[in-house]
Amino acid sequence: MKNIVSNKDFPSSKNFTYLNTANVGLMLNKAEKEINDWVKDLATNGSNNFNEIAEEDVFSSLHNSAAKLLNASPSDIAAGSSATELLSSLAWAIMPSKDQNIVSTNIVFPSTVYPWMRVASSTESEIRLVKEKNNFISSQDIIDLIDNNTSVVCISHVEYSNGQVFDLGLLSKAAHKHNALLIVDATQSAGAIPIDVKQTPIDAIVCGAYKWLCGPFGAAFMYVTPELSEKLEPGLVGFRSHKKMWELDASRIVYPDSAKKFEFSTMAFGCALGLSKSINFLNKVGVNNIFKYNRELADILIDKLRSQSACITSPLDNSRSSIITAYYKDKDSNKIIEHLKNRNVYVSKRGKAIRFSPHLYNTIDDIDNAVEQIDSIITKI
Ligand SMILES: Cc1ncc(COP(=O)(O)O)c(C=O)c1O
């Protein structure tokens, strides 16, 4: 298996065995440099260089790179500080009414559903959560909950806790059949799993930077179709919400005619610039190539875990991703994780399972090392 990135791109990846991208990804070194350079310039020069023109135009590189990632148009991308922030603005903008419902799952990452719950507590709309069975969500169960009163189906493309990948084409068809919107949280997939909005009609996608996109905390983006964006008034607004932000006209808001209407304030702008660098890098490597590479790593890991008689709790069929969860019968996962950490192998615990999440900077050696370290302790605990 040939590596697809060089050590120079992720210099720390050889200092330890990092199998924890579903928690926080390693940052591309060029993204880190971009962020640090921006902070240094601001600290040293105030707004001499980062002037009003630069501030107004600051998101254009992220609009372009994120659009390329999703095969969308740059005008359909909004930048923000976090996936949760952008989704909250969208949820208030859509504001499902009392007779409408929102469909999601009961194991989704809380931030994917909490914004809808908050809106529902004001509007009395109904939240319908598909119950997991044996830790998995059946797509048919999601489809069965959608009816003509469904306003939104909001799911995470990949479930953070078990790595299950949803078929967005299937859910898009099911939602649109009832005139409901499909809104996708791609924080656990974008950068690792291809998403093409021209092939798969999705109404909105939110995505944070700091996992599979190898970017920082403090930046995110949202894709919204022009048809939906045109109908909506953002839930969060500020001076940047005005079409000509530097008019600073407190008497009215005229929103931009694009997804930019969801950009409303200042933020740690360097983070958006850094994120754009990392997305450009991933676009160049090719998300299709990353997907294949990660799947090979995941499949090798699955085989090795099976040979240790681990109970694998992530999917083994085509809905698998490179988030692999497993536990060992009668063994405390916490003890195994602690042992791994002491040997410079980093993973997370989710539920009772150990969560491994390799990405493009990992190699077979990382997988071998993690499994060998588990081997060395498993009979002793
Ligand atoms: C699916 C999913 N969505 C959102 C988030 C959090 O995103 P943010 O911190 O950008 O709000 C996470 C973090 O783990 C996640 O797994």
- 251 found inside a domain: yes
Specify whether 186 is located in the same domain as 314.
no
> pLDDT value at position 73?
98
Amino acid sitting at position 198? K
Same domain, 292 and 280: no
Question: Which of 109, 112, 159, 183 for mutating ligand 1's site (highest number of atoms within 8 Å of CB)?
Answer: 109
User: What are the average pLDDT values for consecutive 10-residue runs of the chain, which has 381 residues?
Assistant: 94 97 98 98 98 98 99 98 98 98 98 98 98 96 98 98 98 98 99 98 99 98 98 98 97 98 98 99 98 98 97 97 97 98 98 97 98 95 88
Confirm whether 5 is domain-assigned: no
Instruction: Examine the domain organization and report whether 90 and 142 are in the same domain.
Output: yes
The Å distance, Cα 206 to ligand 1 centre, comes to 9
pTM over 0.95: yes
Q: Are residues 263 and 292 in the same domain?
A: no
Burial 185-217 (b: 16+ CB within 10 A, else e): bbbbbbbbbbbebeebebbbbbbbbbbbbbbbe
Query: Does residue 207 have its Cβ closer than 6 Å to ligand 1?
Result: no
Residue 4 within a domain: no
Give the tokens for residue 138.
């059946």
Looking at 221, 252, 285, the residue that finishes a domain is 285
Closest-CA residue to 143 (of 170, 106, 116): 170
323 and 268 within one domain: no
Instruction: Tell which residue, 355, 58, 27, has the closest CA to residue 210.
Output: 27
Ligand 1 pocket check for 83: Cβ under 6 Å: yes
Separation CA 266–CA 371 (nearest Å): 45
| 165, 212: one domain | yes
Say yes or no: 205 and 167 in one domain. yes
* CA–CA distance, 286 with 87 (Å, rounded to integer): 27
Whether ligand 1 lies within 6 angstroms of the CB of 166 is answered as no
Establish if 274 belongs to a structural domain. yes
Ligand 1 probe mutation, 87, 105, 155, 188, most atoms within 8 A of CB: 188
Instruction: Note whether 218 and 117 are same-domain residues.
Output: yes
Q: Is 10 in the pocket of ligand 1 (CB under 6 A)?
A: no
Phi, psi of 146 (to 5 degrees): -85, 130
Separation CA 275–CA 82 (nearest Å): 12
Q: For residue 156, which of 24, 283, 325, 323 has the smallest C-alpha distance?
A: 323
For residues 322 and 345, state if they share a domain.
yes
Domain membership of residue 6 (yes or no) is no
**Nearest residue to 5 (alpha-carbon basis) of 29, 23, 21, 24:** 29
Q: Dihedral sign for Cα 237, 241, 246, 247, please.
A: negative
The CATH number of the domain holding residue 359 is: 3.90.1150.10
Q: What is the pLDDT of residue 271?
A: 99
According to DSSP, residue 126 is labeled: E
- Which of 185, 206, 267 is the best mutation target for the ligand 1 pocket, counting ligand atoms within 8 Å of the beta carbon and taking the most? 185
- Cα distances (angstroms) measured from residue 321 to each of 165, 166, 324, 366: 6, 10, 7, 17
User: Quick one: which H or E segment has residue 334?
Assistant: helix 333-342
Q: What CATH number does residue 72 fall under?
A: 3.40.640.10
Ligand 1 neighbourhood includes 187 CB (under 6 angstroms)? yes
Q: For 32-180, where are the E strands, in sequence order? A: 77-80, 101-105, 126-130, 150-156
How many independent structural domains does the chain possess? 2
Tell me how far apart the alpha carbons of residues 149 and 142 are, in angstroms, rounded to a whole number. Answer: 14
Does ligand 1 come within 6 angstroms of the Cβ of 109?
yes
Mutation probe of ligand 1 site: the residue of 107, 155, 160, 348 with most atoms within 8 A of C-beta: 160
Contact 25, 214 (CB under 8 A): yes
CA distance 306 to 136: 19
In this structure, the answer to whether residues 202 and 166 fall within a common structural domain is yes
| Domain end among 285, 301, 333 | 285
Of how many residues is the chain composed?
381
Q: Which residue has the tokens 């916490």?
A: 334
User: Closest by alpha carbon to 141, among 118, 164, 117, 110?
Assistant: 164
Model pLDDT, residue 1: 87
Atom number in ligand 1 closest to CA 84: 11
Q: Is 162 in the pocket of ligand 1 (CB under 6 A)?
A: no
**Domain containing residue 55:** 30-285
In a domain, 1, yes or no: no
According to the model, what pLDDT value does residue 86 have?
99
Element (H, E) at 312: strand 311-312
Any domain includes 225: yes
Which residue's alpha carbon is at the smallest distance from atom 3 of ligand 1? 187
Q: How far apart are CA 47 and CA 55, in angstroms?
A: 9
The string of DSSP letters for 18-49 reads E-BTTT-PPPPHHHHHHHHHHHHHHHHHTTTT
Is the same domain home to 189 and 260? yes
The answer as to whether 203 is a domain residue is: yes
Decide: 82 in ligand 1 pocket, CB within 6 A. yes
- For residue 278, the model assigns a pLDDT of 98
185 close to ligand 1 (CB < 6 Angstrom): yes
Last residue of a domain, one of 218, 253, 285: 285
Q: How far is the CA of 51 from the centre of ligand 1 (A)?
A: 31
CA distance 275 to 212: 11
Judgement on whether residues 47 and 106 belong to the same structural domain of the protein: yes
